[in-house]
Structure 1
Amino acid sequence: MDIFRALGPAVAHVSPLEAVRAGVGALVGLGLTGLFLLSPNIDLDLGLYLVAPFGASSVLLFAVPNSPLAQPWSAIVGNTVAALVGVAVCMLISDPVFRIALAVGLALTATMLCRAVHPPAGAVAMTAAMNPEAIDLLGFWFALAPIALGTVALVALAALYAFFTGRRYPFRQFDDPSSHGTADREPAERLGLSEDELTQILERYRQSFNLGVEDLARLIGAAELQAAAHSAGPLTADNIMSRDPVSVRPEARLSEVAELFRRHRFTSLPVVGDDAEYLGVIFQIHLINQAKDDALRLGNGFTSALKQLLDRQIRRPVRAGDIMAAAGPRAVKKTPVGALLAMMADDDVDAVPVLEHGRVTGIVTRTDLIAAMARKAVRGE
């Protein structure tokens, strides 16, 4: 029954949290945009100044911010150009049916030529064509207010909302610096493919409107990583983990943590409570970030802040429990190496603790993982 499958949902499952995040974003975005547009125009009709297409724009901006159709150029230029087309057609054509159809068709052509396709733009042109009385009053000012100003407000609010909710908008550009602030690409995106080649792939498969070059690079990298995970075979965390992990208590001073890092040449330490109960993990970068934050807060240099942070005589020391990461990935003994590989593809994760009934029984570091993969390659498995 392929026809019934074709009629089913084409979108992957979305978590309830993400659905709520998008819905709240649209609520906040439209609410604040309405206040912005109405404040100098209290005596004007709400329907004219908070137009229906803004609702469609909100779906793209807050629910699918990575879509090329939701980017600032597409949204602002697309809506504004469509408004100009709609107003012009409304002024020239009297027949309502032909006027509406022509406005939408010309708006689609114009926005595509401007590389500013934004689906709600069709509704913007239609709104103008359906309201000749309003257009007689406003003329081409309709394209400025509410359309251009309202879209700019929505885009600005979407960018702020994405920042505060852990998303990225506008989407990443292919030549953006990595998270390390260097010119290198992120490890998962080092494909050996240029931006032009990735663009050609999108154009060849007619996906330019659905996916950006940066996202395509990330997807290809993720697919290659998943394929590498399959080649890892039956190895599990139990086969490669360190079975005698050094750990610290949450009340341990950072001077003690730093000493353990130095003595054992580790880059990570599990933080455990009573009976080896896993509480979190500390990476060396956590110490550096804490010293950097202290330097900015106290107005000291980084070196002075780090010395103070590790001072054994300080009266109110920062402790391990204050800086540990409690929400990072974790594994069990049966976790496949392929899954561990994906976990440590994230730059922020240097090691994954292995738990049994909530207690730490081992830890898999990047060194363990590399050594296991190297042995597998040498053996030709």
Structure 2
Amino acid sequence: MKAFFEAFIPPPTRIDARQRAITMGGAFVGILLTAVVCGLIEGHFDLKWWLMAPLGASAAQVFAVPGSPMSQPWPIVGGHLLSALAGLACVHLIGVNSLSAGLAVGLAVMLMLSLRALHPSGGGTALFIVISHTSDWHFILFPVIANAVLLVVLAIAWHRLTGQGYPQRQTINGPHQLALHRFNPSDLEAALLTYNQALDISREDVEKLIELTEMQAYQRLAGEITCGAIMSRKLRTIMPRTRLGEAEVIMLRHDIKALPVLDDDRRPIGLLRLDDTSTSDRTLTADKIMRQSFARVKATDPATECLHILARGDRRHVLVVDADSRLEGLISKSDLMRALFHAG
């Protein structure tokens, strides 16, 4: 019984006072300026005729949860537009009664879902049209579309002003670069479709949450492991004047993907990768195309240092150097993943 009632208790919120103030200010400014601009367009300030009540719900959503798929520009504008069409159609075909009210909301939800424009307060627009006895088709243009477009424009300006990203693209970034990352964008897309729910969170946010969770797990598994404990010590290296054809033969013969380029004091000055040699003239020397920007760590550094280097971007190798910057070893993604696998 206790567990049943605990389900009704809301979880604690992590929204700080500053974010609450930003949200409140956005809702205030959004509704105020929408009302003022629409009033100037209409030529009078009778709120009843040019400001929709459901717009208040839209303001709460777009300023409080701007990352939600339902808070993006198309769901707001399209949701209200489609809902207004549904409400007006029911008023003209059925009249103003309980059947019309229920059918208007149901039809609005169906249209919004069909056109990927689900916006909760759209149902309120459909109901508002029925209970206000609205039958003028011009109501769709003004105030419905005018209200929705103005609110979206103001939301974009407010979020940019307060340093928050809006609108947010509802797409998925490329897959996490660590080899143990167990899903790719198509997997996540399929999972969301299988779940068959209108989640109030963007797919980008879902992916980011999973990545952060896995990164936290990797850091836990790494524990006290040092870079020196997982680095490869038996290395093949080349000099700056080594020709690419020769470097490629070395990598293919020893099944390695990269060669550190060292100076006369065994200090790394570059990194030559196998994919670099395959697109270049084999007679060139390594110093002509080697990567002069490369990651380096100390043997005593925790292995978690490599996590952040290899997790994103095009980094595939980390060089391990001593106190005099001389090469001691190399850590590849496979070295890191092998260590984490055995640590788990």
Question: Where on the TM-score scale, by shorter chain, does this alignment land: which range?
Answer: 0.5 to 0.7
Structure 1 vs Structure 2: percent identity of aligned residues?
31
- Residue 167 (1) aligns with residue 164 (2): yes
- Over residues 85-122 of structure 1, what are the superposed CA-to-partner deviations in whole Å (9 max), with x where a residue is unaligned? 11121223234222222211111112111221100000
Rg (Cα) greater in structure: 2
- CA distance in 2 between partners of 1:130 and 1:148 (Å): 19
Q: How many corresponding residue pairs?
A: 257
Is the 2:175–2:184 Cα contact (8 Å) retained in structure 1?
Answer: no
- TM-fit CA distance, 1:209: 3.1
In the alignment, structure 2 segments of 5+ residues that lack a partner are 227-267, 269-301, 314-330
- CA distance in 1 between partners of 2:341 and 2:124 (Å): 62
- Over residues 199-244 of structure 1, what are the superposed CA-to-partner deviations in whole Å (9 max), with x where a residue is unaligned? 21112223443232222221111111111122122579xxxxxxxx
Distance change >3 Å, CA 378–CA 24, structure 1 → 2 = closer
Is the 2:86–2:107 Cα contact (8 Å) retained in structure 1?
Answer: yes
- Residue 147 (1) aligns with residue 144 (2): yes
Distance change >3 Å, CA 378–CA 125, structure 1 → 2 = closer
Distance change >3 Å, CA 68–CA 173, structure 1 → 2 = closer
Is the 2:55–2:121 Cα contact (8 Å) retained in structure 1?
Answer: yes
- CA distance in 1 between partners of 2:337 and 2:101 (Å): 68
Name the residue aligned to 1:108.
109
- Residue 123 (1) aligns with residue 121 (2): no
Secondary structure, counterpart of 2:41 in structure 1: coil
2:195 to 187, 205, 208: 205
Secondary structure, counterpart of 1:39 in structure 2: helix
Secondary structure, counterpart of 1:168 in structure 2: coil
Cα RMSD (Å):
4.0
- Over residues 138-168 of structure 1, what are the superposed CA-to-partner deviations in whole Å (9 max), with x where a residue is unaligned? x111111111121111112112222222221
1:351-370 correspondence runs (5 A)? none
Name the residue aligned to 1:322.
none
Is the 1:188–1:221 Cα contact (8 Å) retained in structure 2?
Answer: no
* Deviation larger for 195-204 or 119-128: 195-204
Secondary structure, counterpart of 2:42 in structure 1: coil
1:377 to 334, 339, 343: 339
Name the residue aligned to 1:218.
208
- Over residues 64-100 of structure 1, what are the superposed CA-to-partner deviations in whole Å (9 max), with x where a residue is unaligned? 1111111111111111010111112122323422222
Is the 1:87–1:129 Cα contact (8 Å) retained in structure 2?
Answer: yes
- Residue 28 (1) aligns with residue 25 (2): no
- TM-fit CA distance, 1:337: 8.3
Name the residue aligned to 1:196.
186
- CA distance in 2 between partners of 1:19 and 1:5 (Å): 26
- Over residues 6-49 of structure 1, what are the superposed CA-to-partner deviations in whole Å (9 max), with x where a residue is unaligned? 11114743212111111111111111111121112133621231
1:29-108 correspondence runs (5 A)? 29-43=30-44, 45-108=46-109
Is the 1:190–1:221 Cα contact (8 Å) retained in structure 2?
Answer: no
Distance change >3 Å, CA 225–CA 65, structure 1 → 2 = same
Is the 2:96–2:131 Cα contact (8 Å) retained in structure 1?
Answer: no
1:279-358 correspondence runs (5 A)? none
Distance change >3 Å, CA 207–CA 152, structure 1 → 2 = same
